[in-house]
Amino acid sequence: MRSQNLARGLLFCLIATLAPTTAAAQCSLPDLQAWSLQYDAIANPGRDINLAFQVSNLNPGFPPSGTATVRVVASTDRILDDGDLVLETWTLAGSDLTAPHTGTAYLPSNFPAGSYHGLLVVDVFGTIAECDEGNNVASSVNADLVVRAADDHPDIARQTRPVADELSHTATSMQAAIETGGDTDFYRITVSAGAQYTLATELGTLSDTKLSVYDSTGTVLAENDDITTQNRASLVHFTGPASGPVYARVTAYSTTQTGTYRLVLTPPADDHPD
């Protein structure tokens, strides 16, 4: 996760600007300091958040040795305590501590919505002897990390790839919502090779949908914006390319639109009914 350039497009929080002290200069040990932290200003449960941080050594004539644990924490106040939520933890070699670092953290789907301070915690377990451990924790001045309410249906994106909600021959419809601008809902549908399927959205408070179906390799099998010029819901017909999963993607027509809808699957008729 090491990088020589701090991540772009992140909210920058200069959380410490201390200068070397006389005491540190007279000490024959390193003096690690939580220096800077960056993170996405808006975060969504069930997805990654981008992080970037840097640790400084106020006594550079004495570099740290061994390993140290660095942690990024979300806190409702600026005080590190047991109620805080850990975003990510890294174990770094002492020689690598003061380099700029970037990475990602996965927010669980049950991560509480709210506004948080970002805290950078250096040498969590005190494995490196220092001149002063009082500057190993620093926080953002403002609660500027905003975690949105959890998405009712997950995105399939990047490295995390959460499991999509599933439709099948027995579960043929699902109520859902585009909760925030740009929200994307993914669904897994188990199909039979050569069978014919119809998939459609029914509009609730959402005024316009777009619907796409992909095979397991990401190839588009079918897509539709509007059923008619008067009906802004979406409908597709597709053939199962092989027995197994395909994926449906539902978005609003515009990234400014939000609201509810229902996704309805019509599987092939049972050729041997009960």
Question: pLDDT at position 217, please?
Answer: 77
Could you read off the pLDDT of 43-56 as tens digits, one per residue?
888 778 888 999 99
Tell which wins on pLDDT, 31 or 164. Answer: 31
Measured CA to CA, the distance from residue 155 to residue 187 in angstroms comes to 9
Could you read off the pLDDT of 197-215 as tens digits, one per residue?
999 999 999 999 999 998 8
Q: What's the whole-number mean pLDDT along residues 240-268?
A: 90
Measured CA to CA, the distance from residue 214 to residue 240 in angstroms comes to 10
Please give the model's pTM, rounded to 2 decimal places: 0.53
How would DSSP label each residue in 194-208? T-EEEEEEEESS---
8: pLDDT strictly greater than 80: no
Q: Between β-strands 32-39 and 145-147, what pairing exists: parallel, antiparallel or unpaired? A: unpaired
13: pLDDT strictly greater than 70: no
196: pLDDT strictly greater than 50: yes
Q: For all residues of the chain together, what is the average pLDDT?
A: 82
- Band (pLDDT 50/70/90 cuts) for residue 270 is low
Residues 6+ apart with CB under 8 A from 170: none
**Of the ranges 4-18, 60-74, 83-97, 197-211, which one carries the lowest mean pLDDT score?**
4-18
Measured CA to CA, the distance from residue 136 to residue 138 in angstroms comes to 7
Backbone angles phi, psi at 94, to 5 degrees: -55, -35
Question: pLDDT at position 118, please?
Answer: 92
Question: pLDDT at position 151, please?
Answer: 61
7: pLDDT strictly greater than 70: no
Structure token digits, residue 127: 């494995």
190: pLDDT strictly greater than 60: yes
- pLDDT above 70 as % of the chain: 81
- Band (pLDDT 50/70/90 cuts) for residue 173 is confident
Q: Are 55 and 31 in contact (CB under 8 A)?
A: no
How would DSSP label each residue in 214-262? E-TTS-EEEEES-SSSS--S-EEEEE-SSSEEEEEEEEESSTT--EEEE
Q: Which element (helix H / strand E) includes 23? A: helix 22-25
How far from chain centre, in Å, is Cα 73?
A: 15
- Band (pLDDT 50/70/90 cuts) for residue 3 is very low
- pLDDT above 90 as % of the chain: 46
Backbone angles phi, psi at 70, to 5 degrees: -115, 135
Question: Exposed (0-12), middle (13-18) or buried (19+): which is 67, by Cβ within 10 Å?
Answer: middle
Question: pLDDT at position 22, please?
Answer: 43
97: pLDDT strictly greater than 60: yes
Q: Are 34 and 135 in contact (CB under 8 A)?
A: yes
- Domains defined along the chain, listed by start: 11-147 (2.60.40.10), 165-266 (2.60.120.380)
Could you read off the pLDDT of 67-77 as tens digits, one per residue?
999 999 999 99
How would DSSP label each residue in 103-158? EEEEPPTTPPPEEEEEEEE-STT--S--S--TTSEEE-SS--EEEPPPPSS----T
